[in-house]
Amino acid sequence: QQMYGCELSPNGRKVGYKQFGYDGRDFVAFGKETLTRTAADPQAQVTKRKWDPIVAQNKYLKAYLEEIC
């Protein structure tokens, strides 16, 4: 499952997020500040290691969540 969205914080700042789940549980979440994912369990480490090095995709995702969202 994939979940992403944008919210407006009380101070008027846009807050975007993107995360994935598997079988109803958290799997990986994207960190805009670090341009990396956080793995929720050891199985998610495989996906994290695969996706983290894709710099262009990570920069695009950050821009989307902070500007376009």
Domains of the chain (ranges; CATH) run 2-68 (3.30.500.10)
pLDDT value, residue 38: 97
Q: How large is the average pLDDT for residues 21-37?
A: 95
Within a 10 A sphere around the Cβ of 46, how many other Cβ atoms? 11
Q: What's the pTM value of the predicted model, to 2 decimals?
A: 0.81
- Name 26's Cβ contacts closer than 8 Å, sequence gap at least 6: 19, 40
Distance CA 69, CA 4 (A): 10
What is the tens place of the pLDDT at every residue in 7-28?
888 988 888 999 999 999 999 9
Residue 41 amino acid letter: D
pLDDT value at position 47? 96
Answer positive or negative: Cα dihedral of 46, 47, 52, 56: positive
